[in-house]
Amino acid sequence: MTDRRRALLRRGVGQDLESYVTVGVAVMVSLLDLFGVVEPSVVSAATLGILALISFNLLNGRRQTRQTEVILARLTRAIRASWSMDQVVTAADRAGDLEFDRARDIRLVGVTLSRTVRTHLPALTRCLAAGGTVRVVVIDPDSGAEQEAARRSGLPDDAEVYRHRLRPTLDLLHHLAALSEARGRIQVRMIRYVPSFGLMMVDPESPGGVARVEIYSHRPGVSEPTLTLTAERDPRWFQHFLTEFHHVWERARPLPAFSGQDHR
């Protein structure tokens, strides 16, 4: 135990002792007055002394309260000065994997999701094999969205790049849908615009839901800033992005090749 903690402990014990003594003296004076043991003048003087002691303790308590408020204010400023968004937002390639082991509901939104589906193919397979649901939203390559994606990335003449990225994604999703051991449902829909963010959600309707939001940049080949949210720790913004998923999903076009898989 440090000297400072010992001093604080002694001060606390001393204050408690003062309170007990004050109460004891007050009770004793009341009894003496009740049984007429001492003169009224003595009782009055003792009462004034007790009131003075109580007032002193109150003033001392207020002073300590003010000191505590000052210390807390300084601590708050220190925490704010040391806090940084760099501790919250990570790079997409450094963001820790979400907990897929027991996932029964996986939802993905993105432009082509070529890297995401390829990276997490084993997790998607396990989810479907366990009877879970995988929902995927990507851009519609026949809607002009690929041209919008190219312009956004500063590559207005390379819209075909996004078509090439989308093909292996769809191939892998077809592979997942055709797996004989898959007991779950895979549903794929397309949107006619470029989403403003990428989204990966794991069991979002459960208390343990987790979401990863990837904020798209306007330059090709850069690592996207990524924010990880949980339903328990970040209920407001987790619900915000869950609502965003529902909004995108309900307005997306079901892919005909997955019409047998999409029951909604």
Quote the DSSP letter at residue 153.
T
Q: Are strands 197-202 and 225-230 parallel, antiparallel or unpaired?
A: unpaired
φ/ψ of residue 226, rounded to 5: -130, 140
Name the more confident of 94 and 109.
109
User: Chain-wide mean pLDDT for the chain?
Assistant: 77
State how far the alpha carbon of 80 is from the alpha carbons of 22, 76, 181, 226, 234, in Å: 43, 6, 52, 22, 19
For the entire predicted model, the pTM comes to 0.66
How much is the pLDDT for 262? 43
Per-residue model confidence as pLDDT tens digits over 116-126 = 999 899 999 99
How much is the pLDDT for 212? 92
Sign of CA dihedral 212, 216, 220, 224: negative
Name the more confident of 128 and 34.
128
How much is the pLDDT for 91? 59
How much is the pLDDT for 13? 44
